[in-house]
Amino acid sequence: MSPTSRPHGLSYNERASPHLEKTGRFMGQSEVSVMRAGYRSFAAECAALLFCLSMGIQTAQAQKVLRWKFEPGDSRDMTIVQTIHVAVTAADQNVEMRMSPTMVLRQVIDSVNAEGIASVTQRFVRIQMKLEGAPGASFAYDSNVETPAEGPIGSMIAPIFGALTKGKFTAHISPRGEILDVQVPEEMTDAMARAAGLPGVAEIFSKDGLNQLLKQNAAKFPEQAVIRGDSWTDSLELNNPILGKQTIKTKFTYAGEEVVNDRKVDKMSVTLSFEFGDPPANAPAKIKVSEQAASGVMRFDAATGQLVGSEIDQTMKMEINALGNVLNQTIKSKTIVTVAPSPKSANP
């Protein structure tokens, strides 16, 4: 049989060569080189085009301008649930206490000016507190229950919480989440001052204390758009009657979008750090913070411009020197915040 008939297909050499044209003619080396160069050029152009397109799509999807949105008449309830575990070691004695405060803060948007700054009236519609483990001081309090709180600490704290649920305070908040000012009515501050039987308790709900509460349960966003991995920091200075000057720095890191309960939200990781100045000269105790850690997540709905919620875990270890006695105290807390529209039947 003639070798040109090739009844069994191509010869081994022909099968091994990928450069056979459809016409059956083998291409020369120069033609192969040109074709290879063309393939490489075309592949490189396609890769570059796909890279540019993907980067453009990624940039368009990843960049996000985060802003709060306010609508006059809107009312929402922020529920703040804390679990606090305190362990104190003094000499050979160990004492453990557990506190579980829960607060519902109602926020009503009164007005919004041309710059988008909202005037917000706020009040605590319900406060619950439970203290366990403190020798002779355990108590339970609920502002919705008329039964008075029991125990010495309960009787001192109840008037403060009662004043909070009866009074209202206002704040101006920018679209970036800046707390521009907090206005606390005089009757509210007077009631707390009269009930200040526990050191530092009234200060927690003072103008500075309420400012801190609002800042810790909100987020101040940067001017520019953010992408995944971007970070920014907000700080707040307070004068603590026991610890002295206190600076709280909150670092936010944008972690992108996620879906929670069929709702697309923006996630931010949160890290808090605390710096303490010298304590006041008349402070009842000298406190040295030896260890601290606070972190968690915050979720924000950019479409509605509203906070969805947050979770923060915090640990702080300190040495307390009071009247010559040295105590080592460890505080571990978890704070969970959820936000929902106020019930339709709710009072402002």
Lowest pLDDT segment from 186-190, 199-203, 208-212: 199-203
Q: Which residue do the tokens 């802003």 mark?
A: 67
Asked if residues 180 and 174 have their Cβ atoms less than 8 Å apart, the reply is: yes
Domain range for 183 is: 75-341
- Rounded Cα distance, 294 and 134, in Å: 25
pLDDT at 346 over 80: no
Asked if residues 306 and 300 have their Cβ atoms less than 8 Å apart, the reply is: yes
- Rounded Cα distance, 21 and 179, in Å: 75
Query: Mean pLDDT throughout 315-320?
Result: 92
pLDDT at 168 over 80: yes
User: Are residues 47 and 192 part of one domain?
Assistant: no
- Rounded Cα distance, 1 and 256, in Å: 72
User: Percent of the chain, pLDDT > 90?
Assistant: 44
Q: Is 269 part of a structural domain of the chain? A: yes
User: Are residues 223 and 253 part of one domain?
Assistant: yes
Phi, then psi, of 81 in degrees rounded to 5: -115, 125
Query: Mean pLDDT throughout 113-128?
Result: 95
Q: Which three-class secondary structure string do you get for the chain?
A: CCCCCCCCCCCHHHHHCCCECCCCCECCHHHHHHHHHHHHHHHHHHHHHHHHHHHHHHHHHHCECCCCCCCCCCEEEEEEEEEEEEEEEECCEEEEEEECCEEEEEEEEEEECCCCCEEEEEEEEEEEEEEECCCCCCEEEECCCCCCCCCHHHHHHHHHHHHHHHCCEEEEECCCCCEEEEECCHHHHHHHHHCCCCCCHHHHCCHHHHHHHHHHCCCCCCCCCECCCCEEEEEEEEEECCCEEEEEEEEEEEEEEEEECCEEEEEEEEEEEEEECCCCCCCCCEEEEEEEEEEEEEEEECCCCEEEEEEEEEEEEEEEEECCEEEEEEEEEEEEEEEEECCCCCCC
User: Are residues 21 and 83 part of one domain?
Assistant: no
User: Are residues 273 and 217 part of one domain?
Assistant: yes
User: Are residues 145 and 257 part of one domain?
Assistant: yes
- Rounded Cα distance, 208 and 245, in Å: 12
Q: Is 5 part of a structural domain of the chain? A: no
pLDDT value of position 62: 65
CB within 8 A of 159, min separation 6: which ones?
191, 194, 195
User: Are residues 224 and 149 part of one domain?
Assistant: yes
Q: Is 227 part of a structural domain of the chain? A: yes
pLDDT value of position 134: 74
Q: Is 268 part of a structural domain of the chain? A: yes
Q: Is 348 part of a structural domain of the chain? A: no
- Rounded Cα distance, 286 and 274, in Å: 17
The region, left, alpha or beta by phi > 0 then psi within -120 to 50, assigned to residue 215 is: alpha
User: Are residues 272 and 138 part of one domain?
Assistant: yes
How many CB atoms sit inside 10 A of residue 164's CB? Answer: 21
Q: Residue 197: pLDDT band by 50, 70, 90 thresholds?
A: low
User: Are residues 151 and 30 part of one domain?
Assistant: no
User: Are residues 148 and 20 part of one domain?
Assistant: no
Q: Is 301 part of a structural domain of the chain? A: yes
pLDDT value of position 42: 52
Lowest pLDDT segment from 84-93, 154-163, 251-260, 321-330: 154-163
Asked if residues 280 and 187 have their Cβ atoms less than 8 Å apart, the reply is: no
pLDDT value of position 204: 60
User: Percent of the chain, pLDDT > 70?
Assistant: 74
Query: Mean pLDDT throughout 121-148?
Result: 87
Q: Is 1 part of a structural domain of the chain? A: no
Query: Mean pLDDT throughout 144-152?
Result: 81
Q: Which residue do the tokens 């979770």 mark?
A: 311
pLDDT value of position 45: 55
pLDDT at 177 over 60: yes
User: Are residues 173 and 278 part of one domain?
Assistant: yes
Render pLDDT for 51-106 as a digit per residue (tens, 0 to 9). 554 455 444 556 899 999 999 999 999 999 999 999 999 888 888 999 999 999 99
Position with higher pLDDT, 118 vs 289: 118
Considering Cα of 134, then 203, then 83, then 144, what sign does the dihedral take?
Answer: positive
Within 13 Å of residue 47, how many CA atoms lie on the same side as its CB? Answer: 6
Q: Residue 195: pLDDT band by 50, 70, 90 thresholds?
A: low
User: Are residues 94 and 31 part of one domain?
Assistant: no
Q: Residue 23: pLDDT band by 50, 70, 90 thresholds?
A: very low
Q: What CATH number did the domain enclosing 275 receive?
A: 2.30.230
pLDDT value of position 306: 95
